[in-house]
Amino acid sequence: MNQRITPDSTHPTASTKEANTVEELSSDRGLGREPSLDAGPPLADHKVAAILNELIETALDGEKGFALAAHDSKDANLTNVFRQGEQSCRAAAAELQDQVRTLGGNPEDHGSVKAAVHRGWISLKSAAAVRDSKAILEECERGEDYAKAKYGEALRQGLPPAVRELVERQYHGVIANHDRVRDLRNQYRS
């Protein structure tokens, strides 16, 4: 007897899983889009803390990347933009660390090498070596693309309302950082 097996719509297929790559989440067509509000079921505090710790690492990597960009930039206007990005990332990390403590967890206090590589901050060192403003801006934009993707992933989880509100607010800050860097990069391309 032949049974026909059909895909279960409650389980994502491999192609659905593959669609959630950093490239798609941070592609030009996805810039500034709100992540789906269809969050999963509520998560336990330790799982929420783990998600927030990933965002802390991302924010700390961003802080270091923007600090490096500010240090190596020859352009005073860009240096100011990079310093603002650095401060924004530092404040975001501190706020997330407080939330992890509130949940009873131990917050991360450093970035991750793996995330730094993915975010492009390691490549920023190469761009900064030649002190080319356009190259530095491109690497900063790549870093912010990664941050947008990480925040988007977090927002698709079943975060408690207060935590979700915090992550959404920070997500909008990441978008603002990204767009400011992108607009400057476009100016330097012309």
* pLDDT at residue 132, rounded to an integer: 82
pTM of the model: 0.73
* pLDDT at residue 7, rounded to an integer: 37
Taking Cα atoms as reference points, which of 151, 62, 48, 39 lies closest to residue 100?
48
Whether residue 7 is contained in a domain is answered as no
CATH number of 93's domain = 1.20.1260.10
Question: Is the pLDDT at 188 greater than 90, yes or no?
Answer: no
Lookup result for tokens 């509520």: 42
Whether residue 33 is contained in a domain is answered as no
Cβ within 8 Å of residue 27, ≥6 positions away: none
Whether residue 146 is contained in a domain is answered as yes
Under the banding of pLDDT at 50, 70 and 90, the label for residue 115 is low
Whether residue 129 is contained in a domain is answered as yes
* pLDDT at residue 31, rounded to an integer: 41
Identify whether the C-beta of residue 52 lies closer than 8 Å to the C-beta of residue 96: yes
* pLDDT at residue 19, rounded to an integer: 37
Question: Is the pLDDT at 118 greater than 50, yes or no?
Answer: no
- List Cβ<8 Å contacts ≥24 apart for 122-130: 124/65, 124/68, 124/69, 125/68, 128/68, 128/69, 128/71, 128/72, 128/73, 129/72
Cβ within 8 Å of residue 11, ≥6 positions away: none
Whether residue 25 is contained in a domain is answered as no
Distances (CA, A) of 43 to 12, 75, 103: 19, 45, 12
Q: Which domain holds residue 89?
A: 42-189
With left for phi above 0 and alpha for psi between -120 and 50, is residue 73 left, alpha or beta? beta
Q: What's the mean pLDDT in 35-49?
A: 73
Token representation of residue 133: 């403003």
Q: Answer positive or negative: Cα dihedral of 160, 162, 166, 168.
A: positive
Question: Is the pLDDT at 107 greater than 80, yes or no?
Answer: yes
The C-alpha atoms of residue 19 and residue 117 are separated, in whole angstroms, by: 21
Whether residue 16 is contained in a domain is answered as no
Domain total of the chain: 1
* pLDDT at residue 110, rounded to an integer: 77
Identify whether the C-beta of residue 167 lies closer than 8 Å to the C-beta of residue 155: yes
Whether residue 19 is contained in a domain is answered as no
Under the banding of pLDDT at 50, 70 and 90, the label for residue 41 is low
- Tens of pLDDT along 88-106? 999 999 999 999 999 999 9
- Tens of pLDDT along 157-169? 999 999 999 999 9
> How many helical (H) and strand (E) elements, i.e. helices and strands, does the chain have?
8, 0
Whether residue 22 is contained in a domain is answered as no
